[in-house]
Structure 1
Amino acid sequence: MSATVGYSSARWRVTPSVPVATVVFVVYVMIVVGLMRASGIGYEHFFDSADSTLRSAVLPLAAGAAWLVVFLVWARWDHVFRDARRLPTGWFLWLLPAVMVVITVLHLVGLDWAFFEPGHLLAVLAASVLVGFAEETLFRGIVLRSLRQGVRSEGMAVLWTTLWFGGFHLTNLLLEEPGAVLQVAFAALTGTGLYLARRGTGTIVAAMALHAAWDFSTFLVGVREPAGAAAGAANFLVVVVYVLAAATLVVLVVRERRRPAREAIGRAQGTSR
């Protein structure tokens, strides 16, 4: 005689699935991109000042984050913010997040901080924190949780989460950003590092922190290009990190092709007699 216990399905209002994650994603895009367009500020000028940052980034992202929180409270999904079981992460898989941290520090060291007023810095910081929270909750949270439901391997869950995150940046075309097509590839690759930050620690908070720090430095660099040895080293390592990210993604997909994605959300428990 055997019995199988499910994955806390009694607690869910709706079962985690790709169609549900797609609806959540579409609503998020409509809210955030819609409010960004309504701000009347061009994408390339989002972070030019405290006022433009608040209107074009902070308010839309706050609204998008609120939507995600409301959905999760209502849906009662488990293992969105923390894995039930930490998957193995060797030194090679830690390398990509580590290099991303180094690049972030080098960018910040090379900045001309006197150029930025305190209010401007606080506004950019708020936008960065909101990006980290909202996009990680959506992609390394809701989307990854949905892809881990069913019979997919962890390798496929990682690949599809990465591609989805990269494709999301095509929405910047709606904000008249011609570089959106290139952002798809770059974002997908950095998304691999963000996945590894969650995987290695078992919590999405690490991915949120890395994402926020990475974007904070990127946003500021976009406003005021840094100079000096630190900036030069950062520019070199950016190329390295994209190559490393591509190699790491291939390793993950191949190595994890037989690991059930459900391992991170707990195995079904059974008893037999």
Structure 2
Amino acid sequence: MLVVVVYLAIYLGAGRLAGTIAPDATRARLLSSPGAVFFQLTFGLLVGALVLAIFLSFTGWWRELFARQPISGSRWMWIAVVVVALPVLLRLFGIDYGRYPSGVVAVVFATGLLIGFAEEVLTRGIAVKMLRDSGNSEWVVAAVSSLVFAVMHSLNLLSGGSPLVVAVTVLYAFGFGVLMYLSMRVSGFLLVALVLHGLTDPTTILATGGLDELAPDATQNILLTIASPFNNIVIVTGLILLIFIRGRVPRRQDALATAS
């Protein structure tokens, strides 16, 4: 929690700095220009990602976090990958890219990769490692790391978000967090969850025309219509699959004792 609080403080501080540097861009409609996207989203994430990279370098955790997972996953966990990847593919082919000004789409996708890196390293990387090192079961690891991920999204209240919208976002984030944990575990690598997450956010933003909301002029077609119920599917699937998570990563001292 301390790591999360420090990260969020730096991220929010960077957002305030962006408002000072480019007040017009931070007040403009999010997808109105590349500059609006950069100063409203990208700048804070860039600073946060840099801080996390420094933290991993200082602790020497780069290799451990991005190496193969120390516990394998069951085949049923691929359900999580499918539930996350399918709406991403539908949105990728359904988005009307021509409705956005030049450069906006590229900046949004770059920002998505930053979101994937920062949030996955923080919650499926650092949080999962710390929970495992403390000897917790994988159910606890999945539930607590997903809860931390969900609570992080409650900060949308500070930016004036509707309490109802934020509540739904937090619930979605918890279910999505469970699916990201399962994607990481069944594939064996944090990088898979990072990429899935990094494509989910930008395709959602471009499909809806906003952040955590549907813009009044958002384009709709058959592919986007099929993708729209997946927010609810993510919540339900995450809560159900959480029940079936089993396993435990032996603590280092336990493994040494067993070997002796």
**Aligned counterparts of 2:250 and 2:167: Cα–Cα separation in 1:** 33
Q: TM-score, normalised to structure 1's length?
A: 0.82
- Match of 2:118? 134
Farther off after superposition, 110-119 or 213-222: 110-119
Q: Deviations over 1:196-248 (max 9, x none)?
A: 12111221110110001111111112316331211121123333332222211
**Aligned counterparts of 2:180 and 2:56: Cα–Cα separation in 1:** 21
- Match of 1:206? 192
Query: 1:149 aligned to 130, 133, 147, which one?
Result: 133
For residue 48 of structure 1, report the CA deviation from its aligned partner. 3.7
For residue 177 of structure 1, report the CA deviation from its aligned partner. 1.6
- Match of 2:212? none
Q: Normalized per residue, which structure has more helix?
A: 2
SS in 1 for 2:133: coil
1:231 equivalent to 2:224? Answer yes
**Aligned counterparts of 2:254 and 2:225: Cα–Cα separation in 1:** 47
Map residues 1-273 of structure 1 onto 2, 5 A cutoff. 22-40=1-19, 41=26, 45-77=29-61, 79-90=64-75, 92-178=76-162, 179-223=165-209, 225-252=218-245, 256=246, 259-262=247-250, 268-270=255-257, 271-272=259-260
Letter in 2 for 1:88: G
- Distance change in 2, residues 1:211/1:81 (3 Å): same
For residue 57 of structure 1, report the CA deviation from its aligned partner. 1.1
**Aligned counterparts of 1:211 and 1:201: Cα–Cα separation in 2:** 14
Corresponding residue pairs, total: 243
SS in 2 for 1:225: coil
- Maintained 8 Å contact 1:100/1:241: yes
- Maintained 8 Å contact 1:169/1:183: yes
Letter in 2 for 1:63: V
